[in-house]
Structures are given as C-alpha cells and as structure tokens.
Amino acid sequence: MNRQTFLNPVLAEESMTDLFKSTRMVRRFLRRLDGAWWRVIILWLLTLFLRYGLWSVLLFASIDASPAQSRGREQTPFKDGEILRYKVNWSFIRLGTVVIEQLADSSEEHSFQLRMTVKSTPSLPFINLDFVNRTLLSFERQSVSEETVMSGEDRKNITVYRYDSKRRQVYVEETEQGGTVRRDSIPTDSPCYDALGLFMLSRGLNGSGLSLLLPTLNDYAINPTEIRLTREPEEVEVDAIPFPVKCRRVVGNAKWVGKSFAGMKGSFEGWITDDEAAIPLKAEVEIFLGSVTLELESYERPGWNPLDTVLNASKH
C-alpha cells in the first residue's frame, strides 16, 4: 500500500478486499494445478515437440527414406543357387569368362559361400588366367571374414586371408603345391572388402545415391576403392536378355592394381537391374590391355524373371 491508501480508511478497505480476492484466486488455481500437474507438464512437452521435435523427425525421415524411395524397393541380392556367367571382351576379341556362384552356407545363418571362377580363352597367346576366388559373406556383413584364392596349375597355389576383428589384422598364408611359402599380416583399422564383397555390397545398395570409400583387400595390401551408386535409371541391352532392362549405374575408381585380375586398376562402371534381385548386367573396367567389357551371357536365379522388371518399370 502507498502512503495515501494507508491514511484513507475507505481506500485501505477496498485495497484489502482486492488483495483477498486475488489471494483466493491464486489458491484456487494452485489447488487445480496440484490435482492436474502432470497434465500441464504433458501439454508443455507436447507443445515443445510439435514446435521443434516434429520438424527434426520429418527432416531425418526424409533423408533416410530418400534412397529407398528412389529405388522403389529393397534389394535382396543373396540367393542360394544363383549362377551368373559373363563374357569378357576387349574390343571384338573375347578374352575369357567370369562365373559367379552363390551357395547357402550351413555354418552360419543367412551366410553364403560365393565363388568367382575366371578363365581366359585358351587360344589367346598373351593371357593365361585360371583362378578361383572364394569368400564367405552374409546379409549383415559383406566385408571379408575369410577369402581363398586358388590359381596356378591344378589350382594348387592357394592364398588364404583371414580377418581378426579383435586384433585388427588380416592374416595371410600362401601355399604352393602343398607347402607354405609365405605368412604375413596386414594391419587394418576397420573391416575390408574383397572383389566379391564389393560386388554384393554394390548390388545391395543399388540406386541409393550413396558415395562410399571402401578399404579393399587385394594382393597382400589394403587400398581404397571409391564407389558412387547413381539414382538415374538407364536401359541396358545384353545378349542374355532379349529386350532392354531398366538399370542403375555404379561408378567407381580402384586405387590399386589387381595383379591376379589381369592388372585391373583405375575407373570402372557397371549397370545393375532396378529390381529386388539387383543383377549386374554389364561392366566396363580397366586392365593392362585397356578397357574391357563384361556382359551377362547367361544366368540362373530361382524366381527371377527379367520380364517382370520391364513390366514393373512400365508402370512407373
């Protein structure tokens, strides 16, 4: 109260009445708040969420969903019994054949033994390739756990790579005609990929729009491979399929030279079908001769019909 109110009894009484009314209102509000305090807190939190949180959720959802939306479906490249056979051409000359097979592995759930067989054309005087690359991969992991490369006469020259995640080492053992000729280890800060791991990873992420830098195991060393998975659809024709098929392109750069792969190096690109099977139809890679083309010549994949890919593409 100010001095004038204190000296005037009428004003003092009115002021006290107003004060009591205000006090009763405050007490009434506090009693109501005491009975429903949790509702007030929930409403407050909900308001904050709608104002700030929902925007963040929508933002991250749009980022996460965009690759899947661009593909329109999820890829399932692993399939027991799949066999893909590719012819390898340098200009009009057939250099050889590459066959990639999948077999379900009984030692681990959802795991597969992948085997790649590379043979040069017997009549060629300047190239002599005959080797098998075998590795164990799974739905969850396309990086190397164990890889075996067999080459030489009767494929008795064998190199085995084993990845030890605890020690962060890749252990290498090479044998020739049954005798050990080399044991070594390669330090690595992260899991690495072999050729078949890159092959399956690219299929699984086909059309995602991602750009990746992947540590790649090749010839006793680990070096990076750049991969970019484009979203733009392209139609591709190969001899194995009598009509064009919608694909997505993979662009890469191998920062290494694969001696066992006819000197593969540098830039490469491939075209993978835009469907759940994600079948690589065609690839162009650099080897010591220059640019060569791998093209699907025949295929075996239970349940896959490339005509379905064409029909689905026509609906969009």
Using CB atoms within 10 Å of the CB of residue 57, give its burial: 0 to 12 exposed, 13 to 18 middle, 19+ buried: exposed
CB atoms within 10 A of CB 309: 21
> Rounded CA gap, 77 and 199, in Å?
10
pLDDT at 73: 56
Domains and CATH numbers, the chain: 3-71 (no CATH), 83-314 (2.40.360)
Assess whether pLDDT exceeds 90 at residue 212.
yes
What's the pLDDT band for 31 if we cut at 50, 70, 90?
Answer: low
Inter-residue contact 263 to 129 (CB < 8 Å): no
pLDDT tens readout for residues 175-211: 998 899 999 999 999 999 999 999 999 999 999 999 9
- What contacts 24+ positions apart, CB below 8 Å, involve 145-151? 147/194, 147/196, 147/217, 149/260, 151/260
pLDDT at 126: 76
> Rounded CA gap, 32 and 191, in Å?
60
State the Cα angle at 178 between 173 and 180, rounded to 5°: 35
> Rounded CA gap, 28 and 58, in Å?
41
Q: Is 262 left (phi over 0), alpha (psi -120 to 50) or beta?
A: left
229 versus 308: the higher-pLDDT residue is: 229
Inter-residue contact 203 to 280 (CB < 8 Å): yes
pLDDT tens readout for residues 68-108: 334 445 789 999 999 999 999 999 999 999 999 999 887 77
| Mean pLDDT computed over 280-306 | 93
Alpha carbon 202 to its chain's center: 6
pTM, two decimals, is 0.75
> Rounded CA gap, 209 and 239, in Å?
28
